[in-house]
């Protein structure tokens, strides 16, 4: 049976947008529950400015408090060298640099142009490569930007090429505001697949318009087999107006299972984790 990997990003992308400071022990409990669900990779932390994203300020404590499962890689976002050093001190298993295919979102999210962001990522990439740490790359706004409108597919392909040249082992393609359609995903994938094969790419689709699973289906047809998702459909990006949650892990599991793919995930644990995530959002 063909296999689809779901990369769980709930503890990071799902929770980063919550206004209420979620207690560190609740985040740890969520990660510990997810660790038994069968994921290979879980994004649990983000070493960014606490002024920009206060919810992620306890990332080191979360990484210190979780009970690590042997076969799970615990990932962290690192926008610059300082973030990389924080992630290494906290023993993140892998890191991610995160850029954008649109100038408006790059400015809004990381306060620099796309070209400047690539300059900032280079020393992070050098340090990760030197340390032998796996590095993933994110590209936001791969089809639509809340500031600049539609994103030209060639721009996504160009940024992907730069991130791959820096040593990223996989590029996660972000529909940050959940406005993509199967057609715009198709056009974007045609462009990026000119740069590298489908095994180099993951879909990271937010579900604002309720089309994320359809966009995953379109991506499966192009050969992608890795999708980011958050239990309970939590999340959003604080610097993307109108962005809503990631597609729910349990919804992706159900859709790809119905299409005949195995995920290796325990559906009961996913349900429990989704309940826990929803309670966190509700402030219970
Ligand atoms: P900046 O203001 O341009 O840079 O921010 P700076 O170097 O002048 O730093 C500003 C302040 O942040 C300084 O503190 C630094 O010390 C501090 P101050 O002097 O004002 O007290 N600082 C840090 N603190 C802790 N850890 C660090 C760090 N770096 C600087 N690593 C910066 C540039 C990138 C830091 C800032 O813009 C930032 O933190 N942005 C984060 C935005 C973010 O996390 N967004 C959400 C994640 S991305 C996302 O969700 C999209 C994704 O899911 C894919 C998709 O859906 O599209 C991945
Ligand atoms: Mg996201």
**What ipTM was reported for this prediction?**
0.98
Per-residue pLDDT band at 1 (split at 50, 70, 90): confident
Q: Is the per-residue pLDDT at 284 higher than 60? A: no
CA-closest candidate to residue 93, choices 118, 116, 65, 63: 63
Q: Ligand 1, atom 43: nearest CA belongs to which residue?
A: 109
pTM of the model: 0.97
Task: Give residue 86's pLDDT.
Answer: 98
Catalytic residues: 237
pLDDT bracket for residue 73 (50, 70, 90)? very high
> Ligand 1: does its nearest atom lie under 6 Å from the Cβ of 82?
yes
Kindly write down the DSSP assignment for every residue of 267-278, as one continuous string. Answer: HHHHHHHHHHHH
CA of 201 to the centre of ligand 1 (A): 25
Contact 232, 273 (CB under 8 A): yes
What radius of gyration, in Å, describes the C-alpha atoms of the chain? 17
Mean predicted lDDT score pLDDT of the chain:
96
Q: How many CB atoms lie within 10 A of CB 197?
A: 8
Q: Calculate mean pLDDT across residues 226-252.
A: 85
Confidence of residue 237 (pLDDT cuts 50, 70, 90): low
Cβ of 138 less than 6 Å from ligand 1:
yes
Kindly report, residue by residue over 137-193, the tens digit of the pLDDT: 999 999 999 999 999 999 999 999 999 999 999 999 999 999 999 999 999 999 999
pLDDT tens for 243-261 read: 678 999 999 999 999 999 9
Chain CA centroid to CA 149, Å: 21
Banded model confidence at residue 19, pLDDT cuts 50, 70, 90: confident
Calculate how far, in angstroms, residue 49's C-alpha sits from the geometric centre of ligand 1.
4
Q: What is the pLDDT of residue 281?
A: 79
What mean pLDDT is predicted for residues 26-47?
Answer: 98
- Atom 35 (ligand 1) nearest CA: 49
pLDDT tens-place string over residues 102-112: 999 999 999 99
Is there an atom of ligand 1 within 6 Å of 111 CB?
A: yes
């Amino acid at each position: 049976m063909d296999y689809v990997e779901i990369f769980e990003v709930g503890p990071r992308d799902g929770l980063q947008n919550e206004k209420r400071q979620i207690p560190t022990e609740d985040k740890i409990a969520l990660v510990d529950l997810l660790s038994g669900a069968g994921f290979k990779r879980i994004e649990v932390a983000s070493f960014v400015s606490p002024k920009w994203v206060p919810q992620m300020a306890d990332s080191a404590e979360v990484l210190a408090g979780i009970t690590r499962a042997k076969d799970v890689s615990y990932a962290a976002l690192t926008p610059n060298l300082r973030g990389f050093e924080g992630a290494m001190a906290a023993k993140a298993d892998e890191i991610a640099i995160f850029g954008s295919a649109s100038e408006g979102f790059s400015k809004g999210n990381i306060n620099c142009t796309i070209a400047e962001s690539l300059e900032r990522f280079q020393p992070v990439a050098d340090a990760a490569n030197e340390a032998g740490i796996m590095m993933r790359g994110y590209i936001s706004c791969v089809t639509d930007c809340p500031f600049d409108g539609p994103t030209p597919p060639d721009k996504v392909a160009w940024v992907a090429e730069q991130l791959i040249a820096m040593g990223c082992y996989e590029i996660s393609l972000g529909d940050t505001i959940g406005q993509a359609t199967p057609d715009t995903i198709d056009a974007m994938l045609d462009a990026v697949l000119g740069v590298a094969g489908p095994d180099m790419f993951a879909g990271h689709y937010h579900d604002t318009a309720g089309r994320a699973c359809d966009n995953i289906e379109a991506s499966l047809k192009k050969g992608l087999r890795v999708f980011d998702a958050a239990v309970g459909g939590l999340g959003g990006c604080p610097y993307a107006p109108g962005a809503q949650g990631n597609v729910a892990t349990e919804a992706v599991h159900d859709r790809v299972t119905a299409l005949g793919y195995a995920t290796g995930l325990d559906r009961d644990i996913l349900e429990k984790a989704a309940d826990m995530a929803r309670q966190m959002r509700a402030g219970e």
